[in-house]
Structure 1
């Protein structure tokens, strides 16, 4: 499956760059009996449904023209915005999220928990530091990036 993601990323990146869109994330997964290829795209100021439809048409044409087919099984192509809870994967995502409220899921527990939410205080290639509110106190916690399974923007309640 990773080869599908790598191949599709190489194919769609020039299309997105040419049209000033950013590839935020790409998924190829099976849900029930169906396969889905999902592209999450964005641009400065946000993206609307017409732009998603436009990118879907361009990507669909590009994938259909490939020989051999990079995805031999039947699949559904979905193109959408990453939404308010945008994933943080690249360094530029973390830079943009500096000071923002984020959610992280860990592979291994830290202080007995695998999920934390807080304000992104700082980050390095090796660590992510959050200001986490625990009951009435704010605690600064640093997490090893190798232990972060997923990170995303979060909505604070």
Structure 2
């Protein structure tokens, strides 16, 4: 039996001060971690928003969070800390609808399907709505074989695992990604 994760009381207390500041600035607090580092602590704050996060945004949030921490430093016991404000990296798992929405158009690897019948697929995120995610699933082919066009697949939230963005050095034309193959289109009508 696995032990339940422990709640860090310092991080919980800090979240009470930091979350409203981050929210007021128009960002989502994705993660807050407090890590001991010698006599200091590292307070790592990860923020994101739908339009993305720039270095100027990070600086703005960092100033606001620092001011909130300074205003409450008596509650921290004046312990020294290092504040790190950052955005999520590409390796962050896509687990929330907002994560998927923010990665529309990106290539992801994700397990999909009902429990007991899950398959790992590589697909491009086409659309995200209240019912789930529409993917353009890449066809699995043999190495060297002609690449087949992707198949459009609607995956409900209950059947969608944690996705991982795949790094691409040359992204395809967005218009081409919006029109994956329909399995019914496999017959070219040529009367073979």
Of 66, 69, 75, which aligns to 1:68?
75
SS in 1 for 2:28: strand
C-alpha distance in structure 2 between counterparts of 1:15 and 1:25, whole Å: 13
SS in 1 for 2:22: helix
Instruction: After TM superposition, list the pairs within 5 Å mapping 1:71-86 onto structure 2.
Output: 75-83=81-89
Tell me which of the two structures has the higher relative contact order, counting C-alpha pairs closer than 8 angstroms and 6 or more residues apart.
Answer: 1
C-alpha distance in structure 2 between counterparts of 1:134 and 1:43, whole Å: 34
Structure number with greater Rg is 2
Q: Unmatched 5+ residue regions in structure 1?
A: none
TM-score, normalised to structure 1's length? 0.58
TM-score, normalised to structure 2's length? 0.51
Deviation at 1:18, TM superposition (A): 2.2
Deviation at 1:132, TM superposition (A): 4.3
Instruction: After TM superposition, list the pairs within 5 Å mapping 1:27-106 onto structure 2.
Output: 27-28=32-33, 30=35, 36-43=42-49, 45-66=51-72, 67-69=74-76, 75-83=81-89, 87-98=93-104, 100-104=106-110
Aligned residues: 150
Q: Unmatched 5+ residue regions in structure 2?
A: 1-5, 113-117, 142-146, 170-192
Instruction: After TM superposition, list the pairs within 5 Å mapping 1:69-148 onto structure 2.
Output: 69=76, 75-83=81-89, 87-98=93-104, 100-104=106-110, 110=118, 117-120=122-125, 131-135=137-141, 136=147, 148=161
The answer as to whether partners of 1:26 and 1:37 remain within 8 angstroms in 2 is no
The answer as to whether partners of 2:97 and 2:128 remain within 8 angstroms in 1 is no
The answer as to whether partners of 1:126 and 1:145 remain within 8 angstroms in 2 is no
Which of the two has greater strand per residue? 1
C-alpha distance in structure 2 between counterparts of 1:46 and 1:127, whole Å: 22
